[in-house]
């Protein structure tokens, strides 16, 4: 079953989300912008953790992805679908040639007021590819705790890649691997010994 499910994976994160330290508010003219350099091609989503306490904000949260080459994409998610503290994936049409290009991600919510502001989580441990966090035009320390998602180039090779990584991880703990496989062999061997005795 995991092998079949692996074929259904349509987006792969580039790394893990950094630790969540504090938040910046998004409402009215208050926007939060982050630049980052994509490590891979086929960029199709940006994920971030958003606060929306008690689901109070039912207005739209907009995420604008601005490519350094001039093109932009705007993703709108309604507050009703943003549960407090949830990790939200902002998905768009894949940008094929995204590797090594800079993108600006801007979070805004022009219709929201300060009483119902969305909040985006910031990390004090930015990734090497993160640059220039600005809050309402002012440069600040840290970075939005984002994760970029990319479309796998080939589903089958991606699935094979998952299983080759699994095997490396399994073999990485050598003592356990040897003991575990030995135990499996004992039980498997015992089963077939009893089975063959029954046939005889």
Partner 1 sequence: MIKFLKDKQILKILILAILIRLLIAPFYFHPDIKTYNFQSSFLSKGVWNIYDYLKDNQESLPLKEEFVYFPLTYFVLGGYQIIAQPFLGSDFKNWLSDASEQATDKIGTFRYLFILKLPYLFLDVALAFLLMSYFNTNEKKKNVLTLWLLNPFSLILIYVYSNVDILAVFLATLSLILAYKQKFILAALFLGIGAGFKVYPLLLLPIVVLMIKGFKQKFLMIGVCISIFFVIILPFLKSTIFFQSALVSGLTTRMFIPSINLGFNETLILPIILFTILFFLGIFEKNKKEKLMVYCFSLLLILFATIHFHIQWLLWLMPVAVVLAVSNKNLLPYIFTLITMVFLIPLLYEDKSMTVSLFSVISATYNNLPTPFSLIQKFYNPYVLQSILHSIFVGASLIFIWKIVKEDTA
* Exposed/middle/buried for residue 88 (C-beta within 10 Å: 0-12, 13-18, 19+): buried
Footprint of partner 1 on residues 105-164 (CB under 8 A)?
A: 149, 162
As measured in angstroms, the least distance from the Cβ of 47 to partner 1 is 9
As measured in angstroms, the least distance from the Cβ of 191 to partner 1 is 5
Q: Tell me how far CA of residue 55 lies from CA of 27, 90, 115, 199, in angstroms.
A: 15, 18, 12, 65
Cα 70–Cα 73–Cα 78 angle in degrees, nearest 5: 155
For residue 4, state whether it binds partner 1 (rule: CB under 8 A): no
| Pairwise CA distance, residues 19 & 27, whole Å | 24
Among residues 12, 56, 66, 155, the one that binds partner 1 under rule CB under 8 A:
12
Convert residues 163-182 into a mask of x (bound to partner 1 by CB under 8 A) and - (unbound): --xx--xx-xx--x---x--
8 near 160, Cβ under 8 Å? no
Footprint of partner 1 on residues 52-71 (CB under 8 A)?
A: none
As measured in angstroms, the least distance from the Cβ of 83 to partner 1 is 9
Cα 133–Cα 94–Cα 153 angle in degrees, nearest 5: 115
- Applying CB under 8 A, the residues found at the interface with partner 1 are 2, 5-6, 8-13, 16-17, 19, 89, 149, 162, 165-166, 169-170, 172-173, 176, 180, 183-184, 187-188, 190-191, 194-195, 197-198
């Amino acid at each position: 079953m995991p092998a079949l499910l692996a074929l259904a994976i349509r987006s792969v994160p580039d790394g893990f989300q950094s630790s969540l330290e504090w938040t910046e508010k998004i409402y009215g003219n208050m926007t939060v912008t982050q630049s980052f350099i994509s490590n891979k091609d086929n960029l199709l989503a940006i994920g971030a953790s958003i606060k929306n306490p008690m689901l109070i904000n039912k207005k739209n949260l907009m995420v604008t992805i601005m490519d350094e080459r001039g093109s932009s994409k705007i993703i709108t998610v309604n507050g009703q679908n943003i549960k407090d503290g949830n990790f939200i994936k902002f998905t768009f049409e894949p940008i094929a040639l995204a590797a090594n290009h800079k993108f600006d991600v801007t979070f805004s919510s022009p219709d929201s007021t300060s009483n119902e502001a969305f909040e985006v989580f910031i990390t004090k441990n930015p990734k090497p590819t993160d640059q220039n966090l600005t809050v309402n035009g002012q440069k600040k320390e840290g970075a939005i705790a984002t994760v970029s998602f990319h479309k796998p180039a080939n589903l089958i090779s991606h699935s094979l890649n998952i299983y080759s990584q699994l095997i490396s991880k399994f073999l990485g703990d050598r003592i356990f691997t040897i003991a575990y496989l030995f135990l499996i062999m004992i039980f498997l061997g015992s089963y077939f010994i009893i089975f063959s005795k029954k046939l005889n």
